[in-house]
Structure 1
């Protein structure tokens, strides 16, 4: 039957846009229902400060009045201002929030997003980004056989063929590494830990949650320096930092976030989060009527199988030095020990990491990890 595409503009449309995932993934044992309040907040210009420098349109695909797909199309001023050699820049429009029941719906949705981007003067389309590279970037092309960790996407395996059939080519893979965190450190890592422990200039400290804003400013300062040359890097605005901090504060645990100082100067950080998906999966996306109480109780002293490392970084001037790796392993070891002892975790996931980030790939290889998920960013000229 013919698919029709229409903008999702009313409150009822937005509910249908969000709720569609529950219908499409009802039989997928590895899909984890997101909290609906979080998804609605992402799409709401009144709540999400990303809209201060970007605009987006949301579209529903319907067949006989029943939703069978969705997509966003977005233009971000900060993406347009990014250096072209870092993968984005002038003329780059993006799409995301992509879900479809079949290839016909997928093709129609992608075509509609492309037309919206052309109408905005864009000359190439990238996707998926839901909604930015700091949210859920890339299409899952490997690792559909196990559940995603907190803040990572999960997609129907058929989507890869449908996106590529629409003329898209992969431009960058974002990978995650998994490892058994009950291990004894390999000999090379043990030597680095021993020598680092003897160096009085190095301090690896926990964050102080009572000084959350100041600690967040230190971490974001290191992040903006460490990641500034990376493919796809888009700086977070002050409003976005405050928004992210407000959302993350309830799941910040002091022994899981470390800052490395050398001669009193903060030069590296590592953020680790308990896999919140393990704690919310049975809530089916709703905090009402009693989901919020269950979640608050579970967050008091969470016990999880998996810890995720979404962010770590070392200031640019140290990145090619032996000290950079040493600091990374010292932070990893302290967080590993805390994760096992205090949270009962046995598994870690590091990422996402750019496929060609040689420094992070070397660290992952030294820890005897394996790539468990690959998220691919696609691109097409318009």
Structure 2
């Protein structure tokens, strides 16, 4: 048996790299039940160095593994120069890992990524990060019995065994919190929110989609200030943030995107939640833009029962003042009025006790766990 590693260089090979995942999941009934196929056109853009703005300060290599002439695994390696400037380290990343349950193939893939990163002068690799910490990251270790929400990952349990056996160790653990909004004590939450708003002289409003560009500037400013000290965080460039915002705009519901303002109408906090469109994407096999795919997508988006709270950000001077209670009240209130009684708060560092405490206060439970692994290169 021979294993050959090939570097992806053409558009056709890139599409083959993406669609290999179908081979992993199609023959496993249990996995197939929960896996949500990625949107092929989105991944094609994300892995296009001429299109995706991350690569203005990063480099990417994609590898496929062939065992006895059969495609058997994929991995991408990323050198993020901006990350290394911010954190003063020499860390590279791997992501888009898909593989049959074959340790030899997995080892060949990780060695290919490690070799490429080492040539870049890096000494550590971390993953899965696909392709940055501002995108999809973390390997699922608990919670395999339900589908991932929008922009979160799913993988077979054996992936963790393959990673650990290849010389990785746990770098960071991440949590996804499930919040059943139907059991939240909404009256109590409203009272707390009203008290905080009166005490601090605050007001809250939804996103103004007609002023989209300026609203995004407000989000970007707070996001970068609020998260700058978080593990692994790298501030997005203007181009990265604008690209992400425009890609999410078609699915955004302004009633799940809130801004908190002070007496002078200065934005001091925000919350970004999105409908869990994975509930619809699960039925379109990676192509929501085909005639049948579009019809199915539109039909199932009417049945979405969950939102994902991707991020909350508060300016440093307003932390620990209960601003989160204001944001959570409005998310729960609007969701309850429209039949959406579930939300996922993700992802949250397991070591972030403050965020975990917040999730518990509103009735959350950690129902999925993820790991970002590390190893020397």
Return the TM-score normalized by structure 1: 0.93
Question: Contact between 1:259 and 1:269, CA under 8 Å: does it hold in 2?
Answer: yes
The match for 2:268 is 267
Query: What is the Cα deviation at residue 191 of structure 1?
Result: 4.3
Cα distance, 1:287–1:258 mapped onto 2, change above 3 Å? same
1:363 aligns with 2:358: yes
1:154 aligns with 2:154: yes
Residue among 34, 39, 50 paired with 1:35: 39
Question: Contact between 1:303 and 1:345, CA under 8 Å: does it hold in 2?
Answer: no
1:378 aligns with 2:373: yes
Q: For 1:290-369, what aligned pairs fall within 5 Å after superposition?
A: 290-291=291-292, 293-294=294-295, 297-298=298-299, 302-319=302-319, 321=320, 323=321, 326-342=322-338, 344-369=339-364
The match for 2:75 is 71
Cα distance, 1:302–1:267 mapped onto 2, change above 3 Å? farther
Cα distance, 1:185–1:241 mapped onto 2, change above 3 Å? same
> Secondary structure at 2:329's aligned position in 1?
helix
CA distances 1:245-269 after superposition (whole Å, capped 9, x unpaired): 1101101111110011122221111
Question: Contact between 1:16 and 1:67, CA under 8 Å: does it hold in 2?
Answer: no
Query: What is the Cα deviation at residue 354 of structure 1?
Result: 1.3
> Secondary structure at 1:336's aligned position in 2?
helix
The match for 2:255 is 255
Cα distance, 1:186–1:338 mapped onto 2, change above 3 Å? closer
Question: Contact between 1:180 and 1:348, CA under 8 Å: does it hold in 2?
Answer: yes
The match for 1:232 is 232
Query: What is the Cα deviation at residue 11 of structure 1?
Result: 2.3
Return the TM-score normalized by structure 2: 0.94
Question: Contact between 1:150 and 1:277, CA under 8 Å: does it hold in 2?
Answer: yes
Question: Contact between 2:186 and 2:329, CA under 8 Å: does it hold in 1?
Answer: no
1:16 aligns with 2:20: no
Question: Contact between 1:189 and 1:366, CA under 8 Å: does it hold in 2?
Answer: no
Question: Contact between 2:284 and 2:293, CA under 8 Å: does it hold in 1?
Answer: no
CA distances 1:218-237 after superposition (whole Å, capped 9, x unpaired): 01111111000000011101
What is the alpha-carbon distance in structure 1 between the residues aligned to residue 213 and residue 45 of structure 2?
A: 22
Cα distance, 1:288–1:268 mapped onto 2, change above 3 Å? closer
What is the alpha-carbon distance in structure 1 between the residues aligned to residue 175 and residue 258 of structure 2?
A: 23
The match for 1:95 is 94
> Secondary structure at 1:172's aligned position in 2?
strand
Cα distance, 1:334–1:200 mapped onto 2, change above 3 Å? same
Gaps of 5+ in 1: 84-88
Query: What is the Cα deviation at residue 188 of structure 1?
Result: 6.2
1:278 aligns with 2:274: no
CA distances 1:186-243 after superposition (whole Å, capped 9, x unpaired): 7864541241354481101111000011111101111111000000011101111111
Query: What is the Cα deviation at residue 346 of structure 1?
Result: 2.1
Cα distance, 1:6–1:180 mapped onto 2, change above 3 Å? same
Question: Contact between 1:140 and 1:153, CA under 8 Å: does it hold in 2?
Answer: yes
Cα distance, 1:205–1:298 mapped onto 2, change above 3 Å? farther
Query: What is the Cα deviation at residue 166 of structure 1?
Result: 1.2
The match for 1:86 is none
What is the alpha-carbon distance in structure 1 between the residues aligned to residue 276 and residue 345 of structure 2?
A: 12
Q: CA RMSD in A?
A: 1.8
1:174 aligns with 2:177: no
What is the alpha-carbon distance in structure 2 between the residues aligned to residue 200 and residue 173 of structure 1?
A: 35
Query: What is the Cα deviation at residue 296 of structure 1?
Result: 7.2
Question: Contact between 1:186 and 1:366, CA under 8 Å: does it hold in 2?
Answer: no
Question: Contact between 2:184 and 2:363, CA under 8 Å: does it hold in 1?
Answer: no
What is the alpha-carbon distance in structure 1 between the residues aligned to residue 242 and residue 213 of structure 2?
A: 8
The match for 2:64 is 60
